[in-house]
A and B are shown apart, each in its own frame.
Chain A
């Protein structure tokens, strides 16, 4: 078995030119001139190739927490499913913990813990402990190990007190924790987490994020690939992020650097009293201002909230000057740096 483990890459996850193509059926009205009136209501079935993942290449280093971001249909889940060997790639390959997903899928599965976005395979009438013991037992672990390991993971994810609770009685947050517990059962060095905090309340989500970052990644040194829609989550915990769009990776770096890619679009928010139209025009005419909107604040007469998208954050000093020089009252001025969400929207071109 060790023969199949290659030393070509020391990175726990190494993806090279990975692609997944699906054949999608679409319908189109048949041409009446060809098929005649009898068939005019018939639909013609067209088969099209859709690349859910298109020539993706990246590596993830040991103990790194890597975030995969992108809008719905970007290919994040497809990529995770290929890495955990549930889906067979059309092209390219990947190594997980040194094992090739095509040549040694069983070894890949043994060294990977996976949480899928819609996680199934739980038995409502069985307790947390019984459910977890089942998955460990069928993986070929000895009886002594099963009991000990189930205890460990239940304590690790904070479900030690609920071990005998039936799955059907758990809250959605607890169920998600149990998903993570199941992924941790074989003590895998690599974790693939597909939207682990989806459906959780803010408090539980924050706790799970902390747990993933501090416990699983920092303390235990696991390598984690995590997909998420939650940009705040990615900014908060990921060492690096990749933005996926239409199956391709369009940006990959640390969250700060990815945000810097769209930094030209800094927003300055000014709240001013005694605002005149001359003041607004003066700000709009500034060379650094790309676009501007203003709206009155109902609770303060003659007050405006001005939002200016500027090329450079230093424009805030000029704007302050204009407000005071034109007799306005400067209540507040602040600069909004782009968030990862802004970066995602800008880079993918999707609202």
Chain B
């Protein structure tokens, strides 16, 4: 069998399992879909309400309306959170033990375990764009698709790296996951989902929070995605692109090494199947 087909077919196995499982809870599945629309709508309204207060920060993004700004932040944040929490599916004790008993390769297992979550967050992404375009004057004709996809891809890699580190730690500690907590909390606060990171300077004059915000990958992803929405190419975002790429290499590399070490430690301790 063609190795690429074999890989895709294996990952599809995980996807199909989760899809069948999710769709067997029809009511929950339906309400989750409705929730996506309601949340997107409320984000757009938040943008309209805060338009005048945030207008000064929009010059960097070509005068983008604040509703679009917030919708991009919120949809990207949901997408990145999913990327970050998806690897935690690895630490489901029963599945991990069983999958490691099969000849399934570790990368296939990780990708497969994450596939359904990613489709779900992609649907969420599409719903936000639909709501933005139809109700809040989101402009898609100016989007630089290459920049948009490249930045999103780097963001996914970063979040996978973080998520894999968190999952690996949780594999050993079983409960505690400090990585996800820190990045979730700090991103909500400082990386620019609902307001620009520059707004932090009105609150913290020393600029410490602002500087810290640019140490986490989400800040770069939100910023560059918004710039790509107003047509900026990668060449115009080189410093940010470089910083994000460095973070990808560090986080993804660390994630892979940590996971292998933690699985080996569990195999030595015999705690792989413990909840």
Name A residues whose Cβ lies closer than 8 Å to a Cβ of B.
20, 22, 52, 78, 81, 84-88, 106, 109-110, 114, 116, 118, 120-123, 125-126, 130, 133-135, 137-140, 142-143, 186
Contact = CB atoms under 8 A, between A and B. Distances in A.
Contacts of B100: 85-86, 109
A181 to B, nearest CB: 13
B189 interface: no
A120 B97 contact: yes
Interface of B: 1, 6, 9-10, 12-14, 16-17, 20-21, 24-25, 93-95, 97-105, 108-109, 112, 264, 267-270, 272-273
A121 B98 contact: yes
B103 A84 contact: no
The SS class assigned to the B binding surface is helix
B235 to A, nearest CB: 42
12 contacts: A85-B100, A86-B100, A87-B272, A118-B273, A120-B93, A120-B94, A125-B24, A125-B25, A133-B13, A134-B13, A137-B10, A186-B102
B273 A138 contact: no
Given A106-B103, A120-B94, A126 B21 contact: yes
Given A125-B25, A140-B6, A134 B103 contact: no
Nearest to A108: B103
Contact of A138 (B24, B108, B268): B108
A142 to B, nearest CB: 5
B99 A121 contact: yes
A-B CB proximity, top 5 nearest: A120-B94, A137-B13, A121-B98, A125-B24, A121-B94
Contacts of B269: 22
Contacts of B272: 86-87
A120 B12 CA distance: 21
A81 B270 CA distance: 9
B270 A139 contact: no
A134 B97 CA distance: 15
Nearest to B13: A137
A151 B101 CA distance: 22
Nearest to A23: B269
Contacts of B10: 137-140
B17 A126 contact: yes
Contacts of A126: 17, 20-21, 24
Given A88-B268, A139-B102, A121 B25 contact: no
A84 B17 CA distance: 25
B1 to A, nearest CB: 5
B102 A135 contact: yes
B195 to A, nearest CB: 42
B97 A140 contact: no
Contacts of B94: 120-122
